[in-house]
Amino acid sequence: MNERLQELNKLLNEAAAAYHGTGQEIMSDHEYDRLYEELVALERETGIILEDSPTKRVGAKPAGRLEKTTHEQPALSLDKTKDVAKLADWLGEQEGVLSWKMDGLTVVLTYEGGRLVKAATRGDGMIGEIITGNAKYFHGIPKMIPFSGKLILRGEAVISYQEFERINHSLPEGEEPYKNPRNLASGTVRLLQWIPDRKVDFHAFTLVLMEGGAVRMPDRFEDQMQLLADFGFGGVEYQPVTSQSIEDAVKAFEQRIPDLEFPTDGLVLTLNDTAYGRSLGTTGKYPRDSIAFKWRDDEFETILRDVEWSPSATGLINPVAVYDPVEVEGTTISRASVHNLSIMEGLRLGYGDTITVYKANKIIPQVAENLTGTGNIKIPEACPACGKPTEIRVSLKSGRETKTLYCTNPECPVKHLGMFSRFVCRDAMNIVGLSDETLKKLIDHGFLHRLADIYHLEEHSSEIAALDGFGELSVKNLLDAIEASRDVEPWRFLYAMNIPNVGRDASKKIIRYCGGTISGFVEKLRYGEDLTRADTIGEVISQSVYDWKQDHARQEDFADLIDRMRFKESADTGSEMLTGKTVVITGSLVTFKNREAFIQFVEQNGGKVSGSVSKKTDYLVNNDALSNSTKNRKAKELEIPILTEEEFRNLVLGN
């Protein structure tokens, strides 16, 4: 038993050090929770708690080269449960507030005299790393607040699912993609040199201290969150609950998980009476005023049939487990990424093995355990896309070796696929009809080698029409879409060039700095002008553009493409109708395609979108004006106009 205690301590401490110290993940949440619960049970059974037991530790010592700081008040982790009944028992007769438990990196902010003077990671709860320089780029952190004293709060820095996909898609060739948004957020927040194009959102979840100012710290959690929203901080969505209503509230939160823009790993229940909550003190590791609820990961047995090897645009080849279909959380799943060779070998996957699967955070299919472990899956020596040799690369992360498989062929068609996919996407050239599947066919048949070849496809129209899934009409529609794409805004064209580290926001800033035209951009490239002179364009982006300029083949393609475009004035300016206005949206969308489209519409017309209703909110957009939602109630209390999408659009456009 003592050997198992020591082994569990070692495994869990290594995982915690990796996650809290460097943002790397060397085991899944599911595996960590399972080992942690085993350790707790073993400690109870034996009465032995080792000195370095993770059950008595908040987090892990921060690592790296960032300057350290000691938190004025310990940033303790929360006790947790997967049992809704335990939440009701914990709450008792008190009123509570239920909110999302965001899945990113906890950040502590300190303001003095209305200015942000320090931002730090949570670290081990006592000592964190200073990230003040990076925090100024986070969305949801105001530079100034209307409070003259000292204010300390905590929140979560997160990256949305959409931003996660965009960043992974734009990584330079050969760079390993991030496994999940949490890892990406953690790594981004702790960058020694910030990448302005990355969008990190801050969501305040706890007001820690207010002293010395004219405003008194509210005694109710709801009021504290509203005060932070009034000050301009991004917040987490919350709902007041009692022990009688909490089960229904948890179900309501759970039903919304598939539509969330940000990752979450559960909920947090906090006592609404914060003075009473503080009087309860702590257990040494956990505060007694809050408790976390983690979704119970229901596991299902199935049979592993195969491991497919999925090449990516970066050259990384990921193993994907293929198993007999099984229904989990209301949907049928039959595939799950295994991420890398180290995880696959750890699971000892083999054909016909009995495995258990689940959905991490009720969204992402994962393999939990292998119950038979034959380990007879062979690692391919040739890339499944191009047939060229593969190589195993070993990297050292948090003291552990991680093995990954890569294609060595620089001309692998899948690598080209990523470049073409970025070029034709909606935010770039927006060529409808060129899906990844279609692009792959055109690449495989030799019609596409470089980006400019897209505008030569008409020369191969009869050959394309003869391919499976095509015909004369579909080819005509495709060629029409390609022709329409030539009318393009300069920033979209620049984004389409797939320059490493140059995403949508950076493309807009560069073009704005270059006078709003591609010719202005070309002129600055010709004379080697330093792009870091532009607002918020740092050395990383400037260097990426410089390196791209040195690529002769890319420059030939770029010049050819410029000659084929009809550049139009950017629609990025919009009107000034919403200048200085703050808009909140809630409920389902009808006229806008998605929330991103709504946010883009607001920003193009000079406004900004907030996640919570406050005194600073000018409009709440909700197609159900009679809804009794928290945001509707707050808007009515503050006499803020509640508009439908159509009413809001007409207001902005003057219809």
Greater model confidence, 320 or 54:
320
Is residue 187 very low, low, confident or very high in pLDDT (cuts 50, 70, 90)?
confident
Report the distance separating Cα 453 and Cα 464, nearest Å.
Answer: 14
For 144-148, the CB contacts below 8 A with 24+ separation are 144/114, 144/115, 145/111, 145/114, 145/231, 145/232, 146/114, 146/231, 147/111, 147/114, 147/210, 147/213, 147/215, 147/231, 148/113, 148/114, 148/212, 148/213, 148/214
- Out of 230-239, 296-305, 577-586, 643-652, least confident range: 577-586
Q: What is the pLDDT of residue 574?
A: 47
Beta partners for residue 609, in sequence order: 583
- Out of 2-16, 51-65, 125-139, 147-161, least confident range: 51-65
- Closest listed residue to residue 132, CA positions, set 119, 123, 113, 147: 119
The token duo for 369 is: 């355990």
**Burial degree of 527 (CB within 10 A; 0-12, 13-18, 19+):** exposed
Greater model confidence, 110 or 278:
110
Q: What is the mean pLDDT of residues 517-525?
A: 87
The chain-wide mean pLDDT, for the chain, equals 83
Is residue 89 very low, low, confident or very high in pLDDT (cuts 50, 70, 90)?
very high
Element (H, E) at 161: helix 161-169
Q: Is residue 414 within 8 Å of 309, Cβ to Cβ? A: no
- Out of 169-173, 332-336, 358-362, least confident range: 169-173
Of all residues in the chain, what percent carry a pLDDT higher than 90? 26
Q: What is the pLDDT of residue 302?
A: 93
Tens-place pLDDT, residues 435-481: 888 888 888 777 888 899 999 999 888 888 888 888 888 899 999 99
Among 10, 68, 82, 101, the active-site one is 101
Top mean-pLDDT range of 159-163, 309-313, 411-415: 159-163
Top mean-pLDDT range of 244-253, 258-267, 522-531: 244-253
The token duo for 15 is: 């995982």
In eight-state DSSP terms, residue 22 is: I
Say whether 143 is catalytic. Answer: no
Top mean-pLDDT range of 108-122, 308-322, 498-512: 108-122
Question: Reduced to 3 DSSP states, what percent helix, strand and coil does the chain have, rounded to the nearest 5?
Answer: 35, 25, 40
> What residue spans of 348-484 are helical by DSSP H?
413-424, 436-444, 461-465, 472-484
User: Beta-carbon neighbour count of residue 496 at 10 Å?
Assistant: 23
Q: What is the mean pLDDT of residues 219-238?
A: 90
CA–CA distances in Å: residue 444 to residues 99, 229, 440? 49, 53, 6
Say yes or no to pLDDT of 152 above 90: yes
Tens-place pLDDT, residues 113-123: 999 999 999 88
SS3 at position 358 = strand
The token duo for 300 is: 């299902």
Half-sphere exposure of 189 (CA within 13 A, CB side): 36
| Cα-based angle 427, 433, 436 (whole degrees, multiple of 5) | 75
Q: What is the pLDDT of residue 44?
A: 67
Tens-place pLDDT, residues 566-619: 998 654 444 557 777 888 888 777 777 777 778 778 876 767 787 778 888 899
- Closest listed residue to residue 262, CA positions, set 121, 164, 122, 190: 164
Element (H, E) at 553: helix 552-564
The token duo for 226 is: 């509203």
pTM of the model: 0.58
Q: What is the pLDDT of residue 573?
A: 42
Greater model confidence, 365 or 575:
365
Element (H, E) at 226: helix 221-230
Is residue 57 very low, low, confident or very high in pLDDT (cuts 50, 70, 90)?
low
Q: Which amino acid is at 615?
A: K
Q: Where does residue 219 fall: left (phi above 0), alpha (psi -120 to 50 degrees), or beta otherwise?
A: alpha
Say yes or no to pLDDT of 353 above 90: yes
Is residue 561 very low, low, confident or very high in pLDDT (cuts 50, 70, 90)?
very high
DSSP calls for 237-296: -EEEE-TTTHHHHHHHHHHTGGG-SS-EEEEEEEESBHHHHHHT-B-SSSBSSEEEE---
Q: Is residue 240 within 8 Å of 222, Cβ to Cβ? A: yes
Q: What is the pLDDT of residue 278?
A: 86
Residue 18 dihedral angles phi and psi, to the nearest 5°: -65, -45
Greater model confidence, 500 or 230:
230
Q: What is the pLDDT of residue 116?
A: 93
Say yes or no to pLDDT of 345 above 70: yes
> Which residues are within 8 A (CB) of 633 and not within 5 positions of it... i.e. 6 or more apart?
none
Q: What is the pLDDT of residue 572?
A: 47
Report the distance separating Cα 39 and Cα 8, nearest Å.
Answer: 6
Q: Is residue 409 within 8 Å of 386, Cβ to Cβ? A: yes
Q: What is the mean pLDDT of residues 267-272?
A: 94
**Burial degree of 583 (CB within 10 A; 0-12, 13-18, 19+):** buried
Of all residues in the chain, what percent carry a pLDDT higher than 70? 87
Q: Is residue 310 within 8 Å of 323, Cβ to Cβ? A: no
Report the distance separating Cα 133 and Cα 604, nearest Å.
Answer: 27
Greater model confidence, 413 or 181:
181
Tens-place pLDDT, residues 383-399: 988 889 999 988 765 45
